[in-house]
Amino acid sequence: MVVQAELAGRGYYRGPINGVIGSGSRRAIREFQAAEGLPITGRIDESLIRALRTGELSAPPEDTSKTPLPSPTPSAPEHDSPPVALWVKGKEGQQVLSPFTGGIVDVTGFPSGSEARCPYSGKIFLVPTKP
């Protein structure tokens, strides 16, 4: 809910502040990431949190309510790519932080961009490119 509230306060998010990260929240995240020069992922990640914590207000995006956006069809589920993990600096081997739990995961032998399963949550994430 904190991310939604921050994005709403900056004029990027116009939906309910309920903690559910749906298409409106992801659109607001992408717009904020673009305005801040961050990688545009539509996901809550370390760089997004860091940018929201700075307190500096960037210009909000233009009001898109004038041009109606097509609504997704309920029968078409969204297929988002898995989130990308973050490298752990100063560690031996190839270790990343799980984007789900923050736990350290050894990804030795996994090529960059491949999918790996978080041993803590069982969810899939992407191995980042080498630093």
Mean pLDDT (the chain) is: 76
* pLDDT band with cut points at 50, 70 and 90 for residue 76: very low
- The phi and psi torsions of 81 (rounded to 5 degrees) equal -75, 155
Rounded to 10 deg, the angle between the 2-9 and 23-36 helix axes is: 60
The number of beta carbons lying within 10 Å of the beta carbon of residue 5 is 13
Which two tokens mark 118?
A: 């978080």
Enter the tokens of residue 85: 């993990």
Residues 78-120 have pLDDT tens digits of: 456 778 777 777 556 678 878 777 778 888 888 888 888 888 8
Architecture in CATH of 2-66 = Orthogonal Bundle (1.10)
Dihedral angle computed from the Cα positions of residues 68, 71, 48 and 89, in that order, rounded to the nearest 10 degrees: -140
- Inter-CA distances, 73 with 13, 21, 80, 100, 124, Å: 21, 18, 16, 28, 26
Give the pLDDT confidence of 19-35 residue by residue, as tens digits.
788 888 899 899 988 88
Residue 126 has pLDDT above 70, yes or no: yes
Helix intervals (H) in the chain: 2-9, 23-36, 46-53
Q: What is the pTM of this model?
A: 0.44
More confident residue, 29 or 125: 29
47-73, pLDDT tens digit by residue?
888 888 876 545 555 555 555 555 555
Indicate the domain borders of the chain.
2-66, 81-131
